[in-house]
Structures are given as structure tokens and as C-alpha cells.
Structure 1
Amino acid sequence: MHISADSFRARFKEDEAVREDPDVQTAIRGIEEVDEKLQRINKAREDILADRTLNEAAKKAEFVKYVQKADNKISNKISQVSSIVDRRTAELNKVINQEISDEAGSSRYSSEVRSHVASLPHASDRISFVKKLVDSGEYTSVSSILGAPSFLSGLDEKHKKTLLDYYREKRFSKQIRISKAMERIGQSMLDKTTMTTKFRKSIEDKGTLKDLEAQKRRIEAMAN
């Protein structure tokens, strides 16, 4: 599905973190440039088709020349934006999915925190306690619980995974939103690649420029 640069700006308007991200801004400008070039190709096709001074072969030849020149610029811009998306997505995912176990012993009270959680009477109590720590931004304490073996806090693996997901969604909310924005932009680039491929295919269907020029000369010779 084709999504314009303005559509992306409207979608991210209320999210300052995404809207002001330099890589998101650069990628959206890239989308804008690609859209403008694709629009020029469509306009050129309409103008060439409407030109009554050209015969059919000449029209095809003119369109082929125009698209061949524009195609390289579009492909290069799509490649540039895709590289930005891939690089930034990899950086964000590295932060989002970093091992929480690296911080498990960063608090001087790590063992006490885990013992307290383990002493709570029910699994629901333990889950509720950890979620409250996450909500209050006590990430060091959360790391000491979720970064250590589950049995030390009386959690089973299923509950630990649920809490890890909750922790990441809260702690890395900004990074996750930017990552999702990058994924959408990346998909838009794939869609635009498909569009340029269709233009390229339409050229191949019409024959090579050399063949079209030869056909054009033959028709002009016959007319004379």
C-alpha cells in the first residue's frame, strides 16, 4: 500500500519522540523525493501520450528515455532510505532486546529484593509487585528480579517472560515506537520499489530503446 510522506507526518504528529527523530525525518524526506520523482514519471507519460506531433513509436521511445533517466535516481534514493531504516532498526532492537541479566547485580539490595518477592504468598502478588516497580521506574530493582534465575524470586518462567515483555514495553517505549515507525517506512520503501519495478517492466514490454528508435525511423520514412 502506497503511503505518502504527508501521511507519515500526520501519523507521527502527536508523538514528539518519533516526529523529532533525525533518522525518521531524513527517511520521510526520502519518501517525499521518491514520490515527487514517481509523480514526474506519471506526468511525463501523460504529456508524451498527449503530444500529437509524435507517432506511437516516438512516444514510446520518449517515455523509455525519460524513465531510464529517472529510474536510477529513484533506485538510489530508495537504497539510501532503506540503509537508514536498516541501520536504525538494528540499533534500536539492540537496545530493546539487551540482556537484563547484565544489570541483575547492579543494586546493593538485589538479594533482599528477590527474597522479598519470593516471600509474597501468591504468584499474583509477586507479579503485581514487579509491575508496580516497573510503573514507578524502579528499573534497577526490576533487573535484580528478572535478570536472575526465576526460582530466586519465586517466579515461574511463564510469569517471568510476561513481566520481561511488560518491562521492555515500559522502559523502552520511545525506542519501540521509533522502531515501529522505521518498520512502516521500510515497508513503504518496498512498495515504492514495486512501483519502480512496474515502470521498468513496462519499458521491457515496449522493447529496447534501440529497437524503438529504429521503429520510429521506419515509420517516419514511410510517412515521407
Structure 2
Amino acid sequence: MGFWFKKNKEEYPDFWKEYEKLFDRKSKKSTFKDVRFVAFDTETTGFDYDNDRILSIGAVGIKNKSIQVSDQIEVYLEQEIFKESTVEIHGIRKHGSLLKLSEKEALRLFIAYIEDAILIAHHANFDKKMVNKALQRNGLGVLKNKILDTAVLFKKTKHLVYHTNSPVHYSLDELCNDLKISKSDRHTASGDAYITAIAFLKIVSKLFRNKKIELKSLLR
């Protein structure tokens, strides 16, 4: 059985030390309008946390109930592992015109971008685990950000009691259909991140209609 040794903080690179410092003090931001959210998505070679790899990461910022189109990032990673069968889904080939970064450099840019934002993803546990596995492969810690799952939030709008064994999972396509969101950019990391951001705002609007939005209500 494998396990990870915890590094001494002094052994981490500077960018990781700066990231961890952001969480040393308790945040005073308590309302929706005060917080920076970041919707993100990963495209991967598959669904095996140990043997598959991230191909690209896309993310976009949300502040004060508005998507910040100028606040976004998209990075492509060098493909240590390549699966031809998945190209028709994400369109990312091992070689081509896209600028690809090493896994560690891509992670550095992503961590510097997200800072202490609250992260949003659809079926967030998958993206979180894929990023954490990549971080650990590069001798780093794990994500410290709080993470919201649009699938879980969407279930609340349907008045379903969410639990880990719930048979209803709600794909991102199903959210797009229900919330009337265009699927023109599906299956790219940046496109899915943007769709997730739109879905998040629509879901929040449904959940807190005619009410003051408080951060603790989302994180409960």
C-alpha cells in the first residue's frame, strides 16, 4: 500500500509556500459578493487517478455574481501518457501546434492563478483528485481551497436529498439542457469551465431567489 511522506515546509518551492500562506489566517469574507470563485475543469486521458494524466486545465473567475472573462487561464500539459481513443472527445493530440508545459509548470501556473478562491467544478471530486495526484507526483501538497460541486448544488434545486449513494448524478450535459446553456464549447477544459461558471450562477439564483446570498449557505 502506497503513502506519501509529509514534507517539511522549507522543502517546498516558493510558489507553494506562497500558496499555503494564503490559508494561514481565517478569511473575513463572509458574503457571496466578497468572494472570488473559480470554476475549473480538467481534460484527462481517462478516469484512473493513478495511471491517467491531465491533458489540460481551464478556469475562469467569478466575482459578485458575474463571470470575469478577463480572469481566466488555460494550460496544456506535455503528454507523458497518450490514448488515441480519447482524442475524439477532447481533440488534444500528443503533437501539434498547442504549446504544452511540463506537469509541474502547469501546476505552478494553476496554483498561482487560483490563490485562495473557492473552487467550483462539476463532479468536483474527480477534478480535485486528478489535480491532487499531479501535485503529489511533483512533491507538493494537496489543494487547500474549499470546493463546490455544481452537481450537488443542482440536486438541491430539484429538492432531492443528496447523499453519497444517490442514484442521480446529473451530467454537465443534463445541466446545460435544464438550465438552457449552450454546449458549443463542451469537452474543452476552458469551455467546460465557462459552462460550469454559468451553471453555478444559474443554480445560485434558483437557490437564493429573493434572499441575501451568504457564503456559509453555499458551503453548508
Normalising to structure 2: TM-score of the pair?
A: 0.23
**Greater Rg over alpha carbons, structure:** 1
- Which structure has the highest helix share of the two? 1
Q: Which has the higher contact order (CA 8 A, sep 6+)?
A: 1
